[in-house]
Amino acid sequence: MKDPGVLELSTLSIPNLYAARALAWSWDGTKLNIATQTGAVLQLEAVLRRWVWRDAVEVQHVSAKQLVIARLAQDAPPLTVTAKLAPDIYNVRFIGNDWYAVCRTTNSLILCDLARGLTSEIPWSGTGERIYAAVGGACLIHRAGELSVVEYGLDRVLLTVRTERVNPHVLSVRINEARAAADARDNKRLAYLLDRQTVAVLDLVTGIQVGQWWHETRVDWLELNESGSLLLLRDTRRRLVLLRLQSGDKEIIASGVSFVQWVENSDAIVAQTPTHLLVWYSALDVSALEMLDCGGGIAVEARDNSVLFEGGSVPCLQLDSHRLAFNNALSNDDLVGCARYLNEVDGGADVAQLWRQLADRALAAEDILLAAKCYKEIGDDARTFYLEKTVELAINEGNGEVVTGMQSPLVRARLAILAGDLASAEEFYVKKAGQYDLAIQMYKQYNRWIEAIALAERSDPGSVQVLRQQYMDYLIATGKSERALATSSVQYSNARGREKERYTKVESRREKGSRLGEAGAALAAAGDERGAVRMWLRGGRARRAATLLLQNPILLRDTELTDAVHAQLLQEEWWEMAGEISEKKGDTSAAVEYYAKGHNFARAVQLAREACPGEVTRLEGEWGAWLVGARQAGAAVPHLIEAGDTRAALSAALRAHHYRKALHILQVIEDKESIREQCEQLGDHFISTQDWDTAERVLSECGLSERCVRAYNAAGKYEAGLKLAAKDLTEERAQEIYMPLAQKLRQEEQYRKAEQIYIGLGEHDEAISMYKEIGQYESMLRLVATYRNSLLEATRRHVAQALHASGDLRAAETYYLQAGEWKSAIQMYRSAGQWEGAERVARAHAPPAAQQQVALLWAAALGGVAGAKLLAARGLAAAGARWALQAQREAANIKSFDVCRLTLMITVTRLARSLDSVSMMGRMRLTGRLLPTYAVEHLLLESVAALHHSWTSATSGLRGLFLITCRQNFLRGLFLITCRQNFFVCEAPSGARPPAVADVADG
């Protein structure tokens, strides 16, 4: 027994089994193998239930809490699912193209990945969750505003976050998809939206938020790269943004993007714009962009180093597999593989940038041999020579081993020098190698004399004087005598003037300024701040002089020096520093003006509020105008409002696209006519955003209602446009706008919209006429009933007559009946020979007399036997006979008389066939019906009277003889009714005369 407990067992009898020598269960518990003594091997299946899902997956229930899921296509191994937290699995459903299964127990969920053979069982209760099975190798479960991340193979929830944005396009999970080595730490990250414009990235291992970024537009797609270090996102403006998570840098790399995807197993990006396919083979270098022609197709997927398209002339585009391999190797720190790829590339390809990129990575990895090779391939002879010398040093330091020699501080110092980090190189030389002379020589080689002298003062004070002399000689030799004089001792004071004259004549003014600037720096370093200020003033370095002056309150007391600096600042238009000096001197009004000229309006306004409040308004206005000119219109709005220039503030708000702020400003401006242009721009914006109420209010207030009306019409909002036109426009102007539009809509067969316009303009007759022209009589009558009710009946008759004339009798009938003209409907069908329609109308709407009349007229039109049968079928034989007698008396319609006579004969034939007995009392019994005697007598008497005038019409062929018994004795036995050819004919016996009509009538 596989499961403990009480089971109801059944017996399986196998003939000739003999003894079973071995029993074994299959690994999934679904089969039992039996080996018998005779050498037979039997396999018995042991499943509780088996079912197939959509001809794709087979599910075998081995026990209540265990099942086996197998793909029928055998493209994945069978998966055994066992419930650990509950006694049974009662529901199984498949999602994700049947590659994922969700098994539900009473208190848990089991999530299955059939492709990888992984299951995860997590505690779970309740229902109503939404499950996204395939999101970056994880399963996402969302319920009640909480999103849970489950990694397949782990029986726990990695992390739960709060979000309402659960569209798979704005969720991205990466679970250990790009680890550099097998022993590297787990790399699990989740990117999701906190709101429509805020992206958050979480580390699922630690639960710490990697970062949170706000985007100015709603995000509609995002995806992490496989390593989780880069994030691509696209906004509703179709802009593609690359976010570097480590540094937090955000960069827009493309616009108009409709398709974007990371290339599998790489950091390459493919994106499609309306014109080209964009390919970045490395997201780390977005400047290296390739643009390919996609032949008018639409990109649908990037797979197997190619991009598939739908439509267009190009079914797919192949990506450069070598470059993808290079970038993959580079991202995995496989520098040798990168070099191998570059060596195999065709010589015509431009791979210099790739060699340089590889060289930088090789230097970062301290692989100087590879770095030297890379620089050699590039053609950088200087770096190649330097690295070759470094390699030789490493070999010497490492006793022939480059790797060992790389640990030498001398080698590492040379690498630091190559990287431009002289401070680190000094540390290697001095602290680790103890080579002070090498560090000093390094500084001298790169003309860093100050650092060399400072190092010598710490390590070898005796050599300081020599270094100072060498530094002075260097300055003199390179034409920097002023700095040399400042650096030297007092014995060179007399030479300062001579050197100045000589170099003033030789060097240009610019070079002179440079030298004087360096000399001033040297004086400042030596503590002669006053001399430094004067030197900088002579060299045209007024800003440096002012900076030092402002930092030293003692120098500010030197009025002559301060005025000189101030004048020089004004001459060079360093207004802000001139303002600072004026403020220090106590001249606040001048300081305010200088601050304003230097565009430091914040300081100017602050100072003006304290010293001269009357200037604040003017300064605020200038500040706002300057911000507008500097393309900072949004920041200018509050300053223009402070200045009281609301019109300028309105223009600035519109320029900055702050439309709501502009709307608030508009409400305080009374003279709307003076800002019609701004109102028009603001109204156009609200029209574009479909904020019709605001747009109407803005445009109406400034007298631009017609523009709003036309916008309503362009958007198909005719009702709102007509309402506004009726309120703000003249009737003539509204007619000029809408009548051509209504005519256009009629031509485009948009009749309901044209009707809406006509009704809105009060042109009811035009709308009625339109429907009449196109034959839409229902709509026409609807309008007539609403706006011309007194003409409704006449219109219905007119419509019915028009339809009658056009041959649409059924529709004409409808309108005749709506108008109460059922007689006209019957007459219409009579004139058209459609007696069925006439009879149907009569039965539904006419009185019984009219119904009989229609039937009689129909029978008369048919004539002969057909007409007689028609009346007999409708039970109108008696009425037909009476009508025939009347017609005969009036000699009006002989044909009608004949028909009714035949009708009578047929009726009597039917009565005779149903006759059960002839009673002496004069009653005749019909099958299922009794007729009173007087009715039969009356009918027969009328027929006798009729036959009196058509005696000669009798035919031969006597078939039966019946005696008519009547109450009247003078008729008994006088006449014989003979049946000839199915017609009853009245005959007189020999010697008898036909009865007169008067006699029959009297009887």
- Average pLDDT score, the chain: 78
The whole-number pLDDT of residue 114 equals 94
Dist. CA 246–CA 244, nearest whole Å: 6
Maximum alpha-carbon separation in the chain: 189
> Can you give the residue ranges of every domain in the chain?
333-407
Q: State yes or no: pLDDT of 139 exceeds 50.
A: yes
Q: State yes or no: pLDDT of 489 exceeds 70.
A: no
The whole-number pLDDT of residue 501 equals 47
pLDDT (tens digit, 9 = 90+) per residue, 226-253?
Answer: 888 999 999 999 999 999 998 889 999 9
Contacts for 428-436: CB closer than 8 Å, 24+ residues apart:
430/455, 430/459, 433/409, 435/410, 436/460
Query: Exposed/middle/buried for 576, CB within 10 Å: 0-12, 13-18, 19+?
Result: buried
- Residue 597 tokens read as 């000229």
In contact, 675 and 650? CB cutoff 8 Å: yes
pLDDT (tens digit, 9 = 90+) per residue, 350-377?
Answer: 677 788 888 888 888 888 888 898 888 8
The whole-number pLDDT of residue 237 equals 92
Q: State yes or no: pLDDT of 195 exceeds 80.
A: yes
Dist. CA 41–CA 720, nearest whole Å: 86
Give the closest residue to 665 by CA, choosing from 713, 693, 701: 701
**pLDDT confidence bin for 452, thresholds 50/70/90:** confident
**pLDDT confidence bin for 473, thresholds 50/70/90:** confident
Min mean pLDDT across 9-13, 218-222, 314-318 is at: 9-13
Q: Give the pLDDT mean for 715-742.
A: 84
In contact, 453 and 464? CB cutoff 8 Å: yes
How many residues in the chain? 1003
Min mean pLDDT across 609-613, 615-619, 939-943 is at: 939-943
Dist. CA 387–CA 372, nearest whole Å: 6
Cβ neighbours for 253, distance < 8 A, ≥ 6 positions apart: 240, 241, 242, 280, 286
Q: State yes or no: pLDDT of 7 exceeds 70.
A: no
Number of Cβ atoms within 10 Å of the Cβ of 621: 18
The CB-side HSE value for 942 (13 A sphere, CA atoms) comes to: 25
Q: State yes or no: pLDDT of 705 exceeds 70.
A: yes
Q: What is the pTM of this model?
A: 0.46
Q: State yes or no: pLDDT of 574 exceeds 90.
A: no
DSSP 8-state assignment for residue 429: I
Q: Give the pLDDT mean for 289-309.
A: 86
Q: What is the DSSP string of 48-70?
A: SEEEEETTTEEEEEEETTEEEEE
Number of Cβ atoms within 10 Å of the Cβ of 302: 24
Tell which wins on pLDDT, 691 or 480.
691
Tell which wins on pLDDT, 716 or 202.
202
Q: State yes or no: pLDDT of 447 exceeds 70.
A: yes
Classify strands 230-235 and 240-244 as parallel, antiparallel or unpaired.
antiparallel
**pLDDT confidence bin for 633, thresholds 50/70/90:** confident
The whole-number pLDDT of residue 692 equals 86
Cβ neighbours for 18, distance < 8 A, ≥ 6 positions apart: 36, 37, 38
For residue 705, the one-letter residue type is S
Q: State yes or no: pLDDT of 974 exceeds 50.
A: no
**pLDDT confidence bin for 142, thresholds 50/70/90:** very high
pLDDT (tens digit, 9 = 90+) per residue, 879-922?
Answer: 666 666 666 555 444 444 454 455 445 444 444 443 333 333 33
Query: Exposed/middle/buried for 369, CB within 10 Å: 0-12, 13-18, 19+?
Result: middle
Dist. CA 74–CA 998, nearest whole Å: 106
The whole-number pLDDT of residue 52 equals 94
The whole-number pLDDT of residue 259 equals 93
The whole-number pLDDT of residue 676 equals 82
Dist. CA 845–CA 275, nearest whole Å: 71
Task: Classify each residue of 677-686 as buried b or exposed e, where b means 16 or more C-beta atoms within 10 Å of its C-beta.
Answer: ebbebbbbbb
pLDDT (tens digit, 9 = 90+) per residue, 82-94?
Answer: 999 998 999 999 9
DSSP collapsed to 3 states, 528-554: CHHHHHHHHHHCCCHHHHHHHHHHCHH
DSSP collapsed to 3 states, 4-24: CCCCCCCCCCCCCCCCEEEEE
To which H or E segment does residue 92 belong? strand 89-95
Interhelix angle 381-397/368-378, nearest 10 degrees: 160
- Residue 410 tokens read as 């001398």
Give the closest residue to 797 by CA, choosing from 775, 825, 835, 768: 825
**pLDDT confidence bin for 490, thresholds 50/70/90:** very low
SS3 521: helix
Q: State yes or no: pLDDT of 731 exceeds 90.
A: no
